[in-house]
Structure 1
Amino acid sequence: MNILEVTSSILFFFFFFFSFSYLATSTESCKNSVCSSNSPGIHFPFRIQSRQPESCGYPGFDLSCNNATQTVLLNLPYSGQFIVQGIDYTTQQIWINDPKNCLPKQLLSLNLSGSPFKGVYHQEFSFFNCSSGLLKDQLTPIICLSDSNHTIFATSSRRVAALLLSACKFITNVSVPVQWPFYEQILSSDLNDDLWLTWDEPSGCGKCESRGGQCGFKTNSSHEIVCSNVPHQSVPEWSGKSKKSPHEGSGNADGESPDYGRRMSSRQTLGHI
């Protein structure tokens, strides 16, 4: 073997070695991260902006940490910041609440446009402004919106709404994202329960998670999404889908993410962006 052949072989070896290393590192470098020991684990499609590179998250899924309260924050473009209470990566659901402890105030101007999220289910509530003391013993007031002169109520009952309409000032109707569909009308609520949201894009990652895999971009510079670290006995079958921007798609569950420390045993391609 002459010098030229030896040199070519060495160059090919290094090219192959570094290409493979780069591929493996890119799909496995985005480890699970947390803001505190009590906060939910964060990984693809989400990322913590100050702790994980841009390639570790999908557009529209950026989160931040509030170091003072040790909470995870999600910023919705037209509705402001919310605390992330939990994320279910398998069923692609996230539940959020108001960091200022007055979720009904946020609901009055809730707008999910410009984000990849939508409600898991929705329940329509009518808001009313009543004189202080009126029906306070019969209905649940929204304390954080009420004062000494006025009491705010929210109801999904048409019967109660008709009653309040005759004695109070109607404010607005709000479609509230909820965890389960309500088959019975709610007489009144303080509406402080978490909002349940879901996302559709990137699709397929929930299936990857359910089989113990890790969803993410194939490389730091690639727009191809792959499912890595899937045990051989449960390799998922996926069809590719194109990535949408948060403005094109709206986004689709509760639980902890699988262990991201496992070595990659297989990789399944999900699609290209």
Structure 2
Amino acid sequence: MDASILLEIIFFVSLLTQTTSHAETNSCQPSKCNLKSSEIRHPFRIQGLHPQHCGLPGFQLFCQQEKTSINFPDYGDLAVKSIFYDSKRLELVDPRNCVHEVFLNLNLSRTPFRYYHVLKQYKYIKCSSKIPSPLVQFVPCLSTDDSVHGNYVYTVELSFAVPGYCTTVKSVGIPFSYSSYLSDDSFGLELTWDSAGEDENIEAWRIQTYFKASAKIIALIFMVGILLHAKIIRRCMGSSGDKIQRKYDEIEVDIISRGQYEALRSPMVDDIDIVCNYIP
């Protein structure tokens, strides 16, 4: 084999290996929105940093002002405080500092997540004045504490007797009722997810990677075939041209010496043309 052909084949194989290796090892590498944030890896992915196959559906995160965030279609954006992959725990923070607004409105039924803590059914009630009882406290971030036009929202147990000046807003399962002793932006706002589907997704990603690598190898073989074909044609043309020229020189001498112009139709010349014609 011609040394130049061998070098070109080695170059293409090396290029393909590096490209495939880089795609497999680097495209889904863990990443962060900032140095202090949690490491993001499978089943999560960061939009714009990881290809789509790096994460499961519904696990897409994004960086917003160097903070990791997640969007819930029925609610909006929440900030990611930390992710614990071993225990499958996602800690979130409400940017509006009102975790009970999240409890009230967040619908997880269309997501792969559920609350990490055990839920208990509570009622959200809205009252035109404060309930005179030390057993319940209104939620400040959902209420308007005004002596004239007061609007007070409480989380109470289902058995609670709702006063006449209050109306029930919604009954919902939440991790905790409101307490002034608890953080109002993140306490209880922890989610978890099932492992079902992770193995299938990883296997699907491996199959997809395999077929992509196979396609690249086939393309490489095709390129090498074209290269070899071109090299062979070039060599044939060069070799045949030299042989034809030498033959015509011999024929020319023969013509001059014997005057037999029919020698121009020598079988050897025709055979050389036939050999080259075998190459498309």
Common fold by TM > 0.5: yes
The alignment partner of 1:108 has SS state of: helix
5 Å-filtered alignment, 1:110-189, equals 110-120=106-116, 121-135=118-132, 137-147=134-144, 148=146, 149-155=150-156, 157-159=157-159, 161=160, 163-165=161-163, 168-176=166-174, 178=175, 188-189=178-179
What is the CA distance between 1:19 and its match in structure 2? 5.8
Tell me, yes or no, if structure 1 residue 33 matches structure 2 residue 34: no
Q: Deviations over 1:166-217 (max 9, x none)?
A: 66321111122x4xxxxxxx77546832422222244359xxxxxxxx9994
Q: Could you tell me how far 1:55 is from its partner in structure 2?
A: 3.6
Q: Normalized against structure 1, the TM-score is what?
A: 0.59
Amino acid across the alignment from 2:155? A
What secondary structure is seen at the aligned counterpart in 1 of 2:23?
helix
RCO (CA 8 Å, sep 6+): is it higher in 1 or 2? Answer: 1
Which residue identity is paired with 2:80?
A: V
Which residue in 1 is equivalent to 2:55? 57
Decide whether the 8 Å contact of 2:24 with 2:209 is kept in 1. no
Give yes or no for contact 1:96–1:196 (8 Å, CA) kept in 2: yes
5+ long unaligned stretches in structure 1: 179-185, 206-213, 225-273
8 Å Cα contact 2:56/2:198 also seen in 1: no
State how far apart, in whole Å, the 2-side matches of 1:123 and 1:138 are. Answer: 18
RMSD: 3.8
Partner residue of 2:223?
none
CA distance in 2 between partners of 1:43 and 1:223 (Å)? 23
Residue 49 (structure 1) shift: 1.3
- Deviation of 1:82 after TM superposition, in Å, equals 0.9
Secondary structure in structure 2 of the residue aligned to 1:39: coil
The count of aligned residue pairs is 200
Q: 1:44-94: CA deviations, max 9, x gaps?
A: 221221333334333322111221xx4211001222111111111122221
One-letter identity of the residue aligned with 1:133: K
* 1:259 counterpart residue number: none
1:44 corresponds to 2:42: yes
TM-score (norm 2): 0.58
1:107 matches 2:108: no
Secondary structure of residue in 2 paired with 1:100:
coil
Cα displacement (A) at 1:139: 2.0
Following the alignment from structure 1 to structure 2, what is the Cα–Cα distance between the partners of residues 50 and 144? 34
Task: Give the counterpart letter for 2:151 in structure 1.
Answer: H
Answer yes or no: is 1:198 the counterpart of 2:192.
yes
SS at match of 1:50: coil
Give distance in 1, aligned partners of 2:57 and 2:211: 11
Q: For 1:82 and 1:187, how far apart are their aligned partners in 2?
A: 20
Q: Tell me the alpha carbon deviations over residues 120-139 of structure 1, each in whole angstroms, 9 at most, x when there is no partner.
A: 33222211112333236432
